[in-house]
């Protein structure tokens, strides 16, 4: 390793070279690109956005390699993809869930992106949230709804519902308002299992 490389390793906040600058320039694209078109830079941009929103500080990149495609954060995101899914919508939902469940309103202050790749975090999400609509698995009343379903409820019914418990309560309305009924139908079309709500209630 050259002397220049040693100096590079000490930098945590400033952009070390043009390759990283081009990589970070892609971050702003999350405001215009559809989530389905997101790639690793966009997913990392969203992670950094949520990190700052919940912790009040910018995420400190390790810059452990002069090439951003080989850096620690990209490696961690590739690890998450291998464990969970390559679908950017699922990954975005998971990032939201991780921050909403583990960080928001809690004393936990992760310093590394690696907290979202731990087995004890990935597996419960995979079983209790991601696969809840496909298998007879239980979810807790406080389990956060995936963003896909929250968006349907907001756009179709005008409701800000964030947890399975809140949705289970609304699903018991009799008669059920048309906007809620329509939202549930759209959610089912996206893979939601309404039997989950009955098990919660």
Cα separation of 17 and 63, whole Å?
10
Same domain, 66 and 113: yes
| Domain contains 140 | no
Question: What pLDDT, on the 0 to 100 scale, is given for residue 135?
Answer: 46
Whether 113 is in a domain gets the answer: yes
Interval 150-166: pLDDT, tens: 889 999 889 998 888 88
Segment 45-100, tens digit of pLDDT:
999 999 999 999 999 999 999 999 999 999 999 999 998 888 899 999 999 999 99
**Shared-domain flag, residues 108 and 186:** no
Rounded to 5°, the CA angle 36-24-16 comes to 155
In the chain, the number of structural domains is: 2
Percent pLDDT > 90 in the chain is 45
| Domain range enclosing 115 | 3-130
Please indicate, yes or no, if residue 138 is contained in any of the structural domains.
no
Question: Scanning the structure block, which residue is given the tokens 């098990």?
Answer: 199
Are residues 175 and 92 part of one domain? no
Give the residue from 130, 163, 180 where a domain finishes. Answer: 130
């Amino acid at each position: 390793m050259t002397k220049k490389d040693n100096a590079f390793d000490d930098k945590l906040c400033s952009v070390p070279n043009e390759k990283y600058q081009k990589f970070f320039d892609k971050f702003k694209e999350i405001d215009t690109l559809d989530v389905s078109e997101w790639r690793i830079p966009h997913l990392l941009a969203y992670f950094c956005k949520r990190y700052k929103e919940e912790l009040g500080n910018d995420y400190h990149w390790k810059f452990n390699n002069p090439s951003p495609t080989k850096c620690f954060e990209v490696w961690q995101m590739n690890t998450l993809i291998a464990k969970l899914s390559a679908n950017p919508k699922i990954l975005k939902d998971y990032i939201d869930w991780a921050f909403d469940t583990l960080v928001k309103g809690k004393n936990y202050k992760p310093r590394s992106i690696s907290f979202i790749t731990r087995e004890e975090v990935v597996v419960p999400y995979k079983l209790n949230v991601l696969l809840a609509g496909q298998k007879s698995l239980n979810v807790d009343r406080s389990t956060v709804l995936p963003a896909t379903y929250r968006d349907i409820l907001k756009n179709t019914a005008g409701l800000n519902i964030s947890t399975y418990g809140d949705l289970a309560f609304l699903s018991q309305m009799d008669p059920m308002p048309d906007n809620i009924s329509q939202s549930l139908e759209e959610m089912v079309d996206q893979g939601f299992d309404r039997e989950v709500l009955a098990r919660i209630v």
